[in-house]
Chain A
Amino acid sequence: MIDNKLARKVFGSAFVATMVVPAMAFAQAAEGAAPVDYRVGVAKAIAAGASMSVSALAAGYAQAKIGSAGAGTLAERPEVATNIIVLQALPEIIALLGFVIAFMIGTA
């Protein structure tokens, strides 16, 4: 359960940026296939930027939370250090996916 307003906003924005914005950009690009409209380029740039930045923010937020909890766990149970490092690295995937989608938008 996400009980924090900021967390809801960040994850909501990340979802919109990674799912809706690229779709809109692709649709716009397909419609304007014949004469290349400069507005398509602007929309693609905005979508790619949003996808990358919001996903990076979301990954940062998740890593901050996991990091503080991980530090607490390590203070009491140093034997689980490997698990904590793996958990700490997991949210990087969010940023990576954002980057891939931004790249796809840019090259579409």
Chain B
Amino acid sequence: MSSTTTMKRVSPSKRDYGYCNARVRGMRSRLLKQAFMDGLMQAKDLGGIITSLMETEYAPELEERLLHGRSTGQIDLALKDNMVRTFRKVLSLVNDESLEVLGALLGRWDLFNIKTVIRGRHMSLSSEEITESMVAVAQLSQIDLDELSRQQSVKGVVDTLSTWKLPFAVPLRAAMPEYVESGNLAVLELALDKYYTEWAAKRLKGRGVNQRLSRRFLGTQIDTINLLTCFRLLNADLGDQDALRFFLPGGTFVTEALFRDLASMSDVDEVYDRLKRTPYGRPVEEVAIKYIESGSVSVFERALEDFLMRRAFAAGQGDPLGVGIIIGYLWMKANEVTNLRIIVKGVSVGMPMERMREELIVV
């Protein structure tokens, strides 16, 4: 594993949030505003977008990437590079307590990257194709991810992770025999998801205000994943046992019993009735009609994603000397990059502005 992940950092004392939160708030003040996004959506072509973005924080990465060509792909990579640089900068500033908390929460990006490599290897994609889809914002650096994507098989990826003694190697090693036998990728992904939720919950143990806030946020993340699974199972004919295989423990509101109930339902009204006493009732209600019209589960996926993002933003509005400010900023930044990528793609294919606006997440 590369040395970049263990780079020497000069951190403030264990619980001093004054310095790091002030810096993060300074960085937050430079996030792009709604008016800027509107202007970007009105750009006639990629040239207009590049000109606007060159006046923002994204200029250094754009300058570097545009040397390879003025294409949508290069802008996309520049946006991703900026996100990686920002996350790494924040991680190098924060105190020990927030580093522990963020390590657990950002572990989901490591999970995402490992899943991407495994999927890529399973489908025999090229190393370049796999690397383009990964975002090195957590423990695994870009060098580590490049090394993983160069492995020739899924087994090679698992063996490399084991050599690096990464926690995610444990569930993968355990699930490998079943995967080899069935050739079903879901076995590995499910094992990874379950391991991550337990691993993160263990790291967030503690009675402090910041640990409680992070646990709640992790719980919301797990809830949204479980709810999404339930929505996907709406029309599937599964027995109790099969559905519970997909349940991830550690959620705040979606318990095993609720998950079992939801998974056995076949109507969105029933799901709403069951969820209306939880914070997820409202977002589900708001898109229920859209779901009935389109029949696509992606409307729920989008609603839950918005809900999670709003929770992250709300975390950033609380204690000015707590980890919530940092969590809120990191999620805002990821959201901004996602929105910019949507706009860049939209403008490049001539998508109408209203359609683009619909695609944006919580602007």
Contacts and interface: CB of A to CB of B under 8 A. Distances in A.
A77 B30 CA distance: 10
Given A1-B319, A3-B209, A3-B321, A73 B25 contact: yes
Nearest to A64: B18
Main secondary structure of the interface of A (DSSP, over half): helix
Given A3-B209, A69-B19, A72-B21, A77 B26 contact: yes
Interface in A61-89: 65-66, 68-73, 75-77
A19 B74 CA distance: 65
Interface centre among A66, A71, A72 (most CB of B within 10 A): A72
B12 interface: yes
Contacts of A73: 22-23, 25-26
B284 to A, nearest CB: 34
B12 A68 contact: yes
B19 A71 contact: yes
A68 B19 contact: yes
Contacts of B29: 76-77
B22 A70 contact: yes
Nearest to A72: B22
Contacts, number: 40
Given A3-B209, A77-B26, A77-B29, A72 B321 contact: no
A66 B16 CA distance: 12
Nearest to A1: B319
Interface string B1-39: 000000000001000101111110111011000000000
Interface in B122-169: none
Interface residues of A, number: 13
A72 B27 contact: no
Contacts of A65: 18
Given A68-B16, A68-B18, A69-B18, A75 B26 contact: yes
A77 B20 CA distance: 13
Contacts of B12: 68
B8 to A, nearest CB: 19
Interface string B154-192: 000000000000000000000000000000000000000
Interface in B207-243: 209
Interface string A1-45: 101000000000000000000000000000000000000000000
A11 to B, nearest CB: 15
Nearest to B28: A76
B44 to A, nearest CB: 33
A72 B16 contact: no
Contacts of A71: 19, 22
A1 B320 CA distance: 10
Contacts of B21: 69, 72
Interface centre among B19, B22, B29, B321 (most CB of A within 10 A): B22
A76 B20 CA distance: 11
Given A3-B321, A77-B29, A72 B23 contact: yes
A70 B18 CA distance: 8
A72 B19 contact: yes
Contacts of B22: 68-73, 76
A69 B24 CA distance: 10
Interface of A: 1, 3, 65-66, 68-73, 75-77
17 contacts: A3-B319, A65-B18, A66-B18, A68-B18, A69-B18, A70-B22, A71-B19, A72-B20, A72-B23, A73-B26, A75-B23, A76-B22, A76-B23, A76-B25, A76-B27, A76-B29, A76-B30
Given A72-B21, A76-B26, A76-B30, 16 more contacts: A1-B319, A3-B209, A68-B12, A68-B19, A68-B22, A69-B18, A70-B22, A71-B22, A72-B20, A72-B23, A73-B23, A73-B25, A75-B23, A76-B27, A76-B29, A77-B26
6 smallest CB-CB distances across A and B, nearest first, come from A76-B26, A72-B22, A69-B18, A72-B23, A69-B22, A72-B19
